[in-house]
Amino acid sequence: MKHFTSGLIFRVTIVIVLLTGSLSMRADEGMWLPYLLNRLTYTDMQAQGLQLTQEELFSMNNSSLKDAIILFGRGCTGEIVSDQGLIFTNHHCGYGSIQQVSSVGSDFLTDGFWARSFKEEIPIHGLTVQFLDHLEVVTDEVLKGIKPGMTDEIRHNTIEENKQRIVNRAIEKTTFNAVVKEFYSGNEFILFVYQTYRDVRLVGTPPSSVGKFGADTDNWMWPRHTGDFSIFRVYVDQNGRPASYHPDNIPMKPKHYLPINAGGVKKGDFAMIMGYPGSTDRYLTSWGVNLAINQTNPTIVDIRRQKLDIWGQDMAASDEVRIKYASKYAGVANYWKYFIGQTKGLKRLKVAEKKVELENKFGIWSKSDTSLFSKYGNVRQLFHDGYDELEKVNIIGIYTREAIRGTEILSLAARARNLLENLNGTVKPEINMPDPQKDLLKEFKQTAEDHFKNYNRPTDEKILAAMLHAYYNGVPAVQHPEWLTNAVKKYKGDFKKMATDIFAKSMFASQEKIIEFLRKPSAKAIAKDPAYICVAAFYNQQYVYKDQIISANEKISKARRLFMAGLREMDKNKIFYPDANQTMRLTYGTVQDYYPADAIHYEYFTTHKGILEKEDPTNYEFVVPAKLKDLLLKKDFGPWGEGDVLKTCFLTNHDITGGNSGSPVLNGKGELLGLAFDGNWEAMSGDIAFEPELQRTINVDIRYVLFIIDKYAGAQRIIDELKIVR
């Protein structure tokens, strides 16, 4: 490891020197790479209240804060909070896992769950957590062989080959997995190496009436009163190594875990968040903003609204359907509302207009010198041409993804394509696959089992009819596949009958028919299946526009890379933080209130009183469990109250995005104050444009978490496991 770190130190020093300059942006803006904190950023954090050294924040040689922060599942953050591998994350991050082990007889979504011993902790199939082990700046190696004038395709292929070689080197003869991530639109690259743990078990969760209190109505809104947390644990084998589930596995002994500070927060307190934000696009141009406002966002919103209405009706009519579709519904609903808010925010804050100002400035600067013009003079034209091309094929791409692929029967049928090609001999077996057909059959059998576990055929039949109709109305007629045109004529525009016939005749509508097919598989059976014919028609139609899509994206990608390089060259004294890309980031700021509109003030915290005020027994979103209501009315808060109130949530001015869900909110000593779980409605444009006066992070107060664990659940074993300070 010393050999590795010595090479890294040299490269990191270069990056730090490049980033060091006048701190020209607000301290609360930016998702910083904690291992590349420049001197002025760290000094600013100290001035606000940070008490940890940079080595205590992030170290690859010694235990540090980073060793308690995990990538939870496929898109959330979690934190280790005990010396026995206990994990805190959001309830909505654990929601899919909780749903997976729930049933009508053991409905943990509705009733909650609290393991009374290690033996009662429930293994979650497929759930993983990843710890960042080390990293390396590999820009030079990734760009090796890249030459001026190289076509975008050759450039891309060269970079991908270099990245794969770097990853292979990093994980050879180890249990690690690794990925090379790009930064600044492909101008810099860093290798991240992780250790993945596959035995993760559910320890505790409040009922959804606590963990999702307010549900869709309160989503993205403030004030909030949601106990958005769930608890898991990492297990390892008897030698402390990552392992798949085994009853003899033992709780993990982490390198670092977070103490919990139950002293509360007040306005102006320093706080920081470390986690894995998924994606931002802060350097998006006006062309991209306008495409989002005018085409992409409203299209997605319309399609998802139709799906949510159908799912919601069937879920309300059946507990079995409700449990099966709970996680699917929550996932679609979350970003349905997000896209509505983002569009409103982008318009209200005139983000496109502000982007135009920067682009004009860039254009003037690029013309100020011959050498600059030779590098950057064509950037704005590339953006214009790329987005002009993309706009013409964007709609068909959205409908194929959201409506066609978003229909479960068609999604399953599409996943049979590799098997079909193998069965009819149109693809050669992969190297090192002695029996690819057997492997593909086994893989598809598992795919089908997973598919039907949380599936309701009547619901999906309604979805198929609605989505075919939506595609027909939403996509220009000249871009319709011939199959759709003929089907509409055949069924005289009756999409319900169209869907009914597909379900009646397709093996992909029935687990029994899939099992029967797998006993005697044939390419003909797949190729003649009506669901496969349907989905193949839509996929093939999108493929017609492949070259146009590739051309548009190549122009935009090249323009983004040059634009980002030019911005950094144009304003050398500005610190340009990289966009989020699901790598570990640190954001810092303070506990703050805000003014969302004229004459309206929002306090920085909420209390138990709001739970009682919002209670509505006739609305599932605002049901308050009887035991919780009794505790709140009696003000039986235990040691977790503050005088005669129990604080539930609080606000900070942190810069976060999706993926930060479950991230720890920490004080200057690295002690846990709460869990980040949402952003506020007024700043939904934040992934594209940070607005410091409006942008707030919504966090569940750790004292409310402890109150639910202690007083509501009576889970003393969990309380005893934590290191709690005040």
- Distances in whole angstroms, Cα of residue 510 to Cα of each of 253, 304, 458, 489: 45, 25, 11, 27
Cα three-residue angle 139-140-146, rounded to 5 degrees: 105
AA letter at 308: L
- Range 450-460 average pLDDT: 95
- Range 141-169 average pLDDT: 95
Of the two residues 29 and 171, the one the predictor is more confident about is 171
Is the predicted pLDDT of residue 47 greater than 70, yes or no? yes
- Range 561-575 average pLDDT: 94
Q: What is the pLDDT of residue 3?
A: 32
Confidence of residue 429 (pLDDT cuts 50, 70, 90): low
Share of the chain above pLDDT 70, in %: 95
Confidence of residue 37 (pLDDT cuts 50, 70, 90): confident
Of the two residues 380 and 429, the one the predictor is more confident about is 380
- Range 433-439 average pLDDT: 74
Cβ neighbours for 371, distance < 8 A, ≥ 6 positions apart: none
Q: What is the pLDDT of residue 422?
A: 87
Cβ neighbours for 264, distance < 8 A, ≥ 6 positions apart: 642, 647, 701, 703
Residue 344 near residue 681 (C-beta atoms within 8 A): no
Q: What is the pLDDT of residue 5?
A: 31
| Span 465-486, pLDDT tens digits | 999 999 999 999 999 999 999 9
Q: What is the pLDDT of residue 8?
A: 34
Cβ neighbours for 92, distance < 8 A, ≥ 6 positions apart: 211, 212, 228, 330, 334, 661, 677
Q: What is the pLDDT of residue 6?
A: 31
Report the distance separating Cα 722 and Cα 703, nearest Å. Answer: 13
Report the distance separating Cα 269 and Cα 85, nearest Å. Answer: 29
Q: What is the pLDDT of residue 28?
A: 65
- Range 582-604 average pLDDT: 96
Is the predicted pLDDT of residue 372 greater than 70, yes or no? yes
Q: What is the pLDDT of residue 426?
A: 65
Residue 551 near residue 559 (C-beta atoms within 8 A): no
Q: What is the pLDDT of residue 4?
A: 29
Cβ neighbours for 375, distance < 8 A, ≥ 6 positions apart: 366, 562, 565, 566
- Range 154-181 average pLDDT: 97
- The CB-side HSE value for 71 (13 A sphere, CA atoms) comes to 23
Residue 697 near residue 676 (C-beta atoms within 8 A): yes
| Span 235-293, pLDDT tens digits | 999 999 999 999 999 999 999 999 999 999 999 999 999 999 999 999 999 999 999 99
- Range 544-549 average pLDDT: 95
User: 108: burial class by Cβ within 10 Å (0-12, 13-18, 19+)?
Assistant: buried
Alpha helices in 124-207 (DSSP H): 139-142, 152-171
Is the predicted pLDDT of residue 118 greater than 50, yes or no? yes
Confidence of residue 436 (pLDDT cuts 50, 70, 90): confident
Report the distance separating Cα 363 and Cα 581, nearest Å. Answer: 28
**Which helix (H) or strand (E) is 697 found in, with range?**
strand 697-701
AA letter at 143: L
Confidence of residue 434 (pLDDT cuts 50, 70, 90): low
Confidence of residue 425 (pLDDT cuts 50, 70, 90): confident
**Mean pLDDT score of the chain:** 93
- Range 706-710 average pLDDT: 98
Cα three-residue angle 630-87-108, rounded to 5 degrees: 50
Confidence of residue 152 (pLDDT cuts 50, 70, 90): confident
- Mapped onto helix, strand or coil, the DSSP state of residue 690 is coil
Is the predicted pLDDT of residue 359 greater than 50, yes or no? yes
Q: What is the pLDDT of residue 36?
A: 79
Beta strands in 307-457 (DSSP E): none
Cβ neighbours for 503, distance < 8 A, ≥ 6 positions apart: 409, 457, 460, 461, 464, 509
Which of 148, 240, 156, 236 has its CA nearest to residue 199?
236
* Minimum mean pLDDT range among 14-28, 146-160, 381-395, 522-536: 14-28
Q: What is the pLDDT of residue 18?
A: 33
Residue 412 near residue 451 (C-beta atoms within 8 A): yes
Report, in angstroms and rounded to the nearest whole number, the Rg of the chain calculated over CA atoms: 26
Q: How far apart are the first and last CA of the chain?
A: 38
Residue 705 near residue 229 (C-beta atoms within 8 A): yes
| Span 201-241, pLDDT tens digits | 999 999 999 999 999 999 999 999 999 999 999 999 999 99
- Distances in whole angstroms, Cα of residue 454 to Cα of each of 85, 328, 465: 30, 9, 20
Instruction: Look up tokens 């060259």; give the residue.
Output: 569
Residues known to be catalytic: 92, 228, 661
Helix %, strand %, coil % of the chain (to 5): 50, 15, 35
Is the predicted pLDDT of residue 610 greater than 50, yes or no? yes
